[in-house]
């Protein structure tokens, strides 16, 4: 299992576990992280699974694809740490990952 901490816009932290190979979005939805709406189901066709990956975790991820970059343009308040959680695949190297959640997705 891969441990992930989701930090809400209000600063509250919630922990969940995901399986290696599972997307961060799927783990969030499965464990009831309500701020991850995931309206497109994980095909990078919306930005409703937007999150902010905390440094230094951002350096452990694959670079954003062109599709992810385009979708993040539709996200509210994107930053250099913005990612679509559907595009992050959990792995043992991400055990302990910390992500922040935006106040609003849409």
pLDDT tens-digit profile, the chain (106 residues)? 999 999 999 999 999 999 999 999 999 999 999 999 999 999 999 999 999 999 999 999 999 999 999 999 999 999 999 999 999 999 999 999 999 999 988 6
Contact 25, 36 (CB under 8 A): yes
d(CA 18, CA 8): 18
d(CA 66, CA 95): 26
CATH for 18-97 is 3.10.20.30
Each as own residue / partner, the long-range contacts of residues 42-45 (CB below 8 Å, 24 or more positions apart, any chain) are 42/86, 43/86, 44/68, 44/71, 44/84, 44/86, 44/87, 45/71
Residue 13, H or E segment: strand 13-18
**In this predicted structure, what is the pLDDT of residue 106?**
65
pTM for this prediction: 0.95
């Amino acid at each position: 299992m891969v441990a992930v901490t989701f930090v809400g816009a209000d600063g509250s932290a919630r922990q969940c576990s995901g399986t290696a190979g599972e997307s961060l979005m799927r783990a969030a939805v499965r464990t009831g992280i309500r701020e991850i709406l995931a309206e497109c189901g994980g095909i990078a066709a919306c930005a409703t699974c937007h999150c902010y990956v905390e440094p230094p975790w951002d350096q452990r991820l694959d670079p954003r694809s062109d599709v992810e970059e385009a979708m993040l343009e539709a996200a509210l308040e994107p930053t250099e740490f913005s990612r679509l959680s559907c595009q992050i695949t959990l792995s043992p190297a991400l055990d302990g990952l910390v992500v922040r959640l935006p106040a609003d997705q849409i």
